[in-house]
Amino acid sequence: MSIWSSQDVARDSVRRQAAGLDIAQVAEKAAEAARRKRETADDARHVLGHGAVSDLVAVDPHRLAATWSAKHTGWQRIRTLLETTGQTVYEPERDVAGTRWAGEREEFREERLAAAAARRDRVREQRVAVSTQLWLTPAQSAALQRAADRTGLTPQQILARLAARVETGPDGTLSVPAFHPDHP
């Protein structure tokens, strides 16, 4: 699924393709888009079984029809722009509305990228910060408490330092080399 609508895709595509074209070339593109709009709309109406796509079609015909409809609208808009402004060729940087839409799309893209990066960072932090429950026998608990009392650390701090030193052997066994808990 794309984050861009058919209109977004069409605006971007038409704007790039129209650069440097004169009004006659833009009119040809608008006519072609009108033809493709009709064809793809017909194809979308005749899709087998309520939206099921045949094995030969890799593109959703409804989305393709919406894209061509939006492209047709885009080409018509550019043709009207050239007619009303008297420009001889289309220059994207002189297209105020197109430039604004492109800026909005880029801003949205940057926001999505930043949000995705923030999500990845949160997931990474959550993976690092593991919270566990540990059930100890009374003897184990007493030994841990004595070690904590001797070092001035909490039992949780001792266990965290113990976990930080766990080594995995080639056969998967876990071991902790001797260490002094109050020396980080």
Residue-wise DSSP of 32-74: HHHHHHHHHHHHHHT-STTTPPPTT--S-HHHHHHHHHHHHHH
The torsion of the CA quartet 170, 171, 174, 175, rounded to 10 degrees, works out to: -60
Q: What is the pLDDT of residue 170?
A: 92
Q: Which residues of the chain have pLDDT under 50?
A: 1, 49, 52-53
Closest CA to 13 of 82, 92, 130: 92
Q: What is the pLDDT of residue 3?
A: 66
Six-digit token string for 131? 């919270």
**Which residue type does 138 have?**
P
- CA 65, 68, 74, 77 dihedral sign is negative
Q: What is the pTM of this model?
A: 0.57
Q: What is the pLDDT of residue 65?
A: 87
How many CB atoms within 10 Å of residue 80?
A: 12
3-state DSSP assignment of residue 91: coil
